[in-house]
Structure 1
Amino acid sequence: MNHIACETSYRRSSVTRRQTLLLIITTTRANSKETLLIHAAINIMSRKPFGATQARRAKALFLPMPRADADRVILQHRTALEAVRAGYADAGLARRLFTTILLTRYLTEEGHGLLDLGLLDEAEQMLSTALDNGEDRGDWNFPPALIDLLSRIVNEHDRQLRETRLQAIVRASERLDRLIGSNKRERPDTPGTES
């Protein structure tokens, strides 16, 4: 099944809601350390072979992300989760958690996840509803069931970053970037997404 259809088939709102979320996630991801780390890995993949240096770069893609880098990336996701749990939710934190769900989904679909895709679907739907409530009514309280799901997903994403080959993480990040880019091209008039 097409991943866009899979991710949007259960939502009460159409793809336009997802497009808006992804466009806003683009601006959030543009300055994050996670994006910089992933883009550094992409640069490693795209460089031309040059002896021992190239061999070290190629080997790095088949190993998990270095622990210090994984710690820096997951700290952003855990901080967002803890802020939401403490009642300090806002649109930026919700989008950060939405990115966590999507990256966890992509790695799970590649065979690197322990969570059921149905659980990710449920969390994505609940988070979308919470984001709608926050933007429409200013109600940024997340239900306890959603926070429990997000906790499981952040823990799984943490495990994935520590155990999954860097190459798979780069592919998942590129997939998210392509999804964001395709939605940006379809809706260039969305406010706050000008380059």
Structure 2
Amino acid sequence: MARTIPFYTSPQAVRARRSKTLLLPMPRAQADELSLQVHIALDAMRRVQGNLNAAQTLCQAMIVVGLLAEAGYSSATVDQMQDAEEVIGSAFDRGRDTGVWMLDDDGFAQFATIVSTYDHQLRRAPVAAIADASDRLDRFRAGETFEQTARRRA
């Protein structure tokens, strides 16, 4: 009977495997799960059935798209991100003031592009880049500005 090849569990081997994993794209099932949440939020906002959570989900996806684009994983422009920020800001204001959480047709079109870019980034960008963008988003949500994050990185 043939002997199995030993699977090394030394700390160096574990680090090497982890480093290689960070260079690969996210597993498809995990990317699909993240993407589905954003697609559901976009659809709810299009059908005027959105809520605070849906708007927050779209806002977070927009920020991650911008961060990954900044890192070179898409061609999203600053102008596109600023326009999308105004659209989602209006949706937040409308939702807070009237209880109607929605995107108009133009806003939906802008966010459909962002969600498509998000899908592409989740399937193509390495896990390390996505994890970095996610960490930056978490720090932003905790109150740190993007300028503070940039200074820390420099």
Which TM-score band (shorter chain)? 0.7 to 0.9
Matched residue, 2:3: none
Deviation at residue 53 of structure 1 after TM alignment: 2.3
The answer for unaligned runs of 5 or more in structure 1 is: 1-48, 184-195
Deviation at residue 141 of structure 1 after TM alignment: 3.2
What SS does the corresponding residue of 2:25 show, helix, strand or coil?
coil
TM-score normalised by structure 2 residue count: 0.83
* Separation in 1, partners of 2:102, 2:20: 44
The runs of 4+ residues in structure 1 deviating greater than 3 Å are none
* Separation in 2, partners of 1:84, 1:62: 34
Higher Cα Rg, which structure: 2
- Output the amino acid matched with 1:107: L
- Output the amino acid matched with 1:135: R
C-alpha contact (below 8 Å) 1:94/1:131 kept by paired residues: yes
Deviation at residue 112 of structure 1 after TM alignment: 1.0
- Candidates 41, 55, 62, aligned match of 1:101: 62
| Residues matched between the structures, number | 135
* Separation in 2, partners of 1:141, 1:78: 14
* 2:33 matches 1:72: yes
- CA RMSD of superposed structures (Å): 1.3
Deviation at residue 60 of structure 1 after TM alignment: 0.4
The answer for unaligned runs of 5 or more in structure 2 is: 1-9, 145-154
* 2:149 matches 1:149: no
- Candidates 71, 77, 85, aligned match of 1:124: 85
> In the TM superposition, what whole-angstrom CA distance separates every residue of 1:110-159 from its partner, at most 9, and x where no partner exists?
11112222111101111101110110122323211000001000000010
Report percent identity of matched pairs.
Answer: 35
What SS does the corresponding residue of 2:50 show, helix, strand or coil?
coil
- Candidates 134, 148, 153, aligned match of 1:173: 134
1:2-81 map, 5 Å: 50-81=11-42
Residues 163 and 156 (structure 1), Cα distance of their counterparts in 2 relative to 1, 3 Å cut: same
